[in-house]
Structure formats: C-alpha cells, structure tokens
Amino acid sequence: MNKATQTQLDSSTQADLVRHACSRRIYCIRVEGRLDDAWTDWFGGLAISHDGDESVLCGSVADQSALHGVLRKLHDLGLALVEVKKIDDADDGMMW
C-alpha cells in the first residue's frame, strides 16, 4: 500500500469516526413512576433524576435503535411514557 492510499484510508476512517460521534444524540425521557439510581446501568448509563412522582432519564443515545431499546425497557417495566425530548445539537455543547 502506498503512502497516498494510506493517507486516503486514514482520512476515510477519521471521517467515519466523526460521523459516528456526531450521530449520538442527547435525549431526556420522562416517565410516570420513580426509578432509583440502581437502574442506571440497565438503561445504558442514562442519568436518572426525579420530578415529583416522575423519573427523567437523560443522556447520550447511540442511535434510533438504542433509543427504541430504552423505550422498550421502560414499557417492559410498565412505566407510562410522558415525554421524549431530543436536546438540540446547539444545546449539547458541541460546536461544529
């Protein structure tokens, strides 16, 4: 493999990594009921906070499939979904 080909592969790999990193989104998911912090690992590291009798799970979600996985877990626990909010890219601290 010549140096030009290696440089092209490196650039392609870097672009793929940037696209992957940019594809992650921050979501806040509000449900009825209270989840304690012990559930954090099961929900992929989403932070759990409380607002009255509701729980709010916030954090980075890899893609739509992962988001649906979180929603499925909440459904399996019998927790009623109140709100799913995607935090805008401008709000997540990333500047592009």
pLDDT 10s digits, 48-81: 999 999 999 999 999 999 999 999 999 999 999 9
- pTM of this structure: 0.69
pLDDT of residue 90: 45
Domains of the chain, CATH where assigned: 24-90 (3.30.70.1560)
Closest by alpha carbon to 86, among 66, 58, 65?
58
